[in-house]
Amino acid sequence: MSGVLSPTDVVVGVLVLLSAFLSMAAGIGIVRFPDVLTRLHAATKPQVLGLAAVLLAIVLRVPTWGVLSTVILVMTFQLLTQPMTAHMLGRSAYRTDHVRRDSLIEDELGRDIEAHAND
């Protein structure tokens, strides 16, 4: 091998570095943010984008139908489960008073809980 990088290798390297940066940002956000809701935001958004970047890098590096179909399945399951998981964790944190309610702009869940409690 002559040591010359192909354009695909450069793109794959950039995507892997982007994924690493997003994962690091998510980890820092989880440690630094003050409450559950902001930590959930830090955990979900960059992680999904980081996973998408590394999966795209894998497809570019090994462009076969088997790899592409596996990557599509992994990303589909991630996109289906991550929002639901974050929603359930946020709702559980709200109901167990682990959310700073004074920082909420609008407390729709609290209003709905009160409306159903009076029924």
pLDDT tens column, 15-70? 999 999 999 999 999 999 888 888 888 888 888 999 999 999 999 999 999 999 99
Residue 39 CB neighbour total at 10 angstroms: 20
**The two structure tokens encoding residue 52:** 């998408």
Which position has the token pair 């869940």?
109
Contact of 76 with 95, CB cutoff 8 Å: no
Pick the closest to residue 93 from 41, 46, 47 (CA basis). Answer: 41
The pTM score is 0.79
pLDDT-derived band at 100, boundaries 50, 70, 90: confident
Residues 6+ apart with CB under 8 A from 97: none
Contact of 15 with 57, CB cutoff 8 Å: yes
Residues 6+ apart with CB under 8 A from 1: none
